[in-house]
Structure 1
Amino acid sequence: MESQNVDKWREAMLNELESMKNNQVWELVEPHKSQKLVGSKWVFKTKKDKDERIKRFKARLVAKGFTQREEINYIETFSPVSTKDFIMVLVGHYDLLLHQMDVKTTSMNGELEEENFMRQPKEFAKEGK
């Protein structure tokens, strides 16, 4: 947050948190004392146009899932997203038209069976939650 674009990065972070709130990705709660908290981390990316000018600042809040242990914190893992390669194969196979677009935010509707507790990003932590 020492960048000359600190205001734009902070706005991107706030947009990400607002999007997560609107999509009911999580809720702030007091964690169980026995529950291990998974850390959180910000991932930043600049989106550029064809002339390499910065078009948008994107911030994503992600869980540090690598700190979890199978059969203790989770049962199985999967990623319900498609890859560019798979999409290109379908486009070619079915002779489809492909249009590219930039989506500000997306949210999968996967439901977790386990309760997971992630530590809030310290920049936006709310006391007592």
Structure 2
Amino acid sequence: MIEPKTVNVALDHSDWVQAMQDELNEFERNKVWRLIPTLLEALVVGLKWVFRNMLDKEGNVIRNKARLVVNGYCYEEGIDYEETFAPVARLESICIFLAYAAYKNLEVFQMDVKCALLHNVLEETAYVEQPLGFVNEKYLNQ
């Protein structure tokens, strides 16, 4: 199936719903957040679903991937506007690392981290809205 452009389109297809549920299960497994009633004075950051087809070498869809990301337009210039997070190593960095490891005769291990950003600890409290398609009516904004 083609990557959906909206949540409503994704919710009409069980494969995409499963991909979205898998993403939320990772959040729960890693204790990323908990549902609470929103405080009136709290700044609530919006969320957005991003959908991608994972392809094999021949270009066939092997699985669907849904990522839940925060909307960047809630950033405030001068405070967090310049902060970006992309847990992907550049190919050049990997080549340099492997060359150095070979030069020093070091043993290198590989580890696949599925949800690296979920392991970051925030020093401040952050509030995000509930993800579209998975809203718990008990915790609607007051």
Q: Same fold by TM (over 0.5)?
A: yes
Aligned residue-pair number: 126
Distance (whole Å) between structure 1 residues aligned to residue 47 and residue 67 of structure 2: 10
Which of the residues 42, 65, 73 maps onto 2:49?
A: 42
SS at match of 1:94: helix
CA-based RMSD: 3.1
Percent identity over the alignment is 32
Within-5 A mapping of 1:6-21: 6-21=13-28
TM-score (norm 1): 0.78
> For 1:66-109, what per-residue CA distance to the aligned partner results, in whole angstroms no more than 9, with x for missing partners?
3121566x598463735233223212333389898876x32342
TM-score (norm 2): 0.72
Q: Select the structure that is richer in helix.
A: 2
* 1:112 lines up with 2:122 in the alignment: yes
Distance (whole Å) between structure 2 residues aligned to residue 64 and residue 70 of structure 1: 14
Distance (whole Å) between structure 2 residues aligned to residue 87 and residue 60 of structure 1: 25
Change (3 A) 1:33 1:115: same
| 4+ runs deviating over 6 angstroms | 96-102
Which stretches in structure 1 are left out of the alignment for 5+ residues?
none
Higher relative contact order (CA 8 A, sep 6+): 2
